[in-house]
């Protein structure tokens, strides 16, 4: 996805810890960035990293080969699919993103509000 390279929210080769540290420093609900996934799996090329309520969420962005589209998190029926990663970001700047805490089994939601840049 060449279009992603020029986006201000794309942190390319930044690792999980660097991304999380940057979001904790921002300390603003709705802070976010997108990084390459640690696994470098073609089915999950990117990770959306979001800060909310003093926590950082790493949400996998899946690539669906059959439709050449992207989706967030684990596969589920009726999931939203997008033609590009940029579309995911644009969509969730206007509509809330559900954040699931698998450890505490709680749900929150926030919009993507503040781009965090890794310097």
Residue 38 has pLDDT above 90, yes or no: no
- How many structural domains compose the chain? 1
Band (78; pLDDT cuts 50, 70, 90): confident
Q: What is the pLDDT averaged over residues 67-89?
A: 94
109 Cβ contact list (under 8 Å, min separation 6): 96, 97, 98, 99
Q: What domain range is 44 assigned to?
A: 4-115
CATH of the domain at 60: 3.30.505.10
Is the separation of the CB atoms in 22 and 101 below 8 Å? no
**Mean pLDDT, residues 95-100:** 93
Residues linked to residue 98 through DSSP beta bridges, in sequence order: 109
The reported pTM is: 0.93
């Amino acid at each position: 996805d060449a279009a992603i390279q020029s986006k201000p929210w794309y942190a390319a080769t930044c690792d999980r810890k660097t991304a999380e540290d940057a979001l904790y420093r921002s300390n603003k609900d709705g802070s976010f960035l997108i990084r390459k996934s640690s696994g470098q799996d073609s089915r999950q090329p990117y990770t959306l990293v979001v800060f909310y309520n003093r926590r950082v969420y790493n949400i996998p962005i899946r690539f669906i080969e059959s439709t050449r589209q992207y989706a967030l998190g684990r596969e589920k029926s009726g999931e939203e699919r997008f033609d590009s990663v940029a579309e995911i970001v644009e969509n969730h700047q206007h509509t809330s993103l559900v954040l699931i805490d698998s450890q505490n089994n709680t749900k929150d939601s926030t919009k993507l509000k503040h781009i965090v840049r890794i310097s």
